[in-house]
Amino acid sequence: MSRELVIKGIALGSGIPVICVPITASVPGEILTEARRLVASGVQMIEWRLDYLEDPTNTNVIRQLLMDLKPICENSILLATLRSSSQGGRARLDEKAFAKSLMAIATSHVADLIDVEYFFRKEGEKELIASLQKEGARVIASQHDFHRTPSAMDLISTLLTMEESGADLVKIAVMPHSSGDVLHLLDASSTFSENAQTPLIAMAMGHLGTISRVGGELFGSCVTFASMGASSAPGQFPVEDVKTVMEILHRYSAPEEQHD
């Protein structure tokens, strides 16, 4: 069983998955307004998508925004993500620029989690993760495939490779083209979570992947992404709908009480 990771009193890796809501605004004022709205709505985890910034390499802007977000997200997990265009985001940066922006996030000591696209760099992923962690950051090693779903064995292999990096969590997202593809993702998720020591985030995108976004507790995924406004990936649906379905699944999937 994967170990539990607790951040700001919020447990990742046990019970109902934590719902994470993305902020995709591009203007600083709108980013802060959106963060306040999400916190006021009771969102436990917020993902700030830095790739939506006009210039995601401007480390001065990044640091100032993080300072402004710190008091707002005092009781919510803040995940900082700089998603590349090759993995569904908007950032078109080289490896050096990516690393520089991620280090600016880490050295600000505000974000609770930093996303690192594990296979974006040609080499040095472990060193980058270690450098971020040295600053006190927790790291999610991630891999996104917006075109297809590899076999369950290939998915497990990818997850194990990312786990070996020393990341605090691993995340994998795929695009299914059939129900069988979704089963590959769920099979890999379940197998990995039953045998690994690292918490997992796993999802199949698009309409076919709906079950993966609400059934994480059954298949080993500790976080799911939902929207309160603009979505950041295909298949996200509203927070309240996700919350309702996950609570129902939790209630009826719990082991029945043993009676004498």
> Which residues are annotated as catalytic?
144, 171
Q: CA 57, CA 101: separation in Å to the nearest integer?
A: 6
Q: CA 108, CA 111: separation in Å to the nearest integer?
A: 8
What six digits make up the tokens of 188?
Answer: 């890999």
109: left (phi over 0), alpha (psi -120 to 50) or beta: left
Hey, which bits of the chain come out as E strands? 5-7, 10-12, 18-23, 45-49, 77-81, 113-117, 138-145, 169-174, 200-204, 223-225
H or E segment to which residue 213 belongs: helix 210-214
H or E segment to which residue 188 belongs: helix 179-195
Rg over alpha carbons for the chain, rounded to the nearest Å, is 17
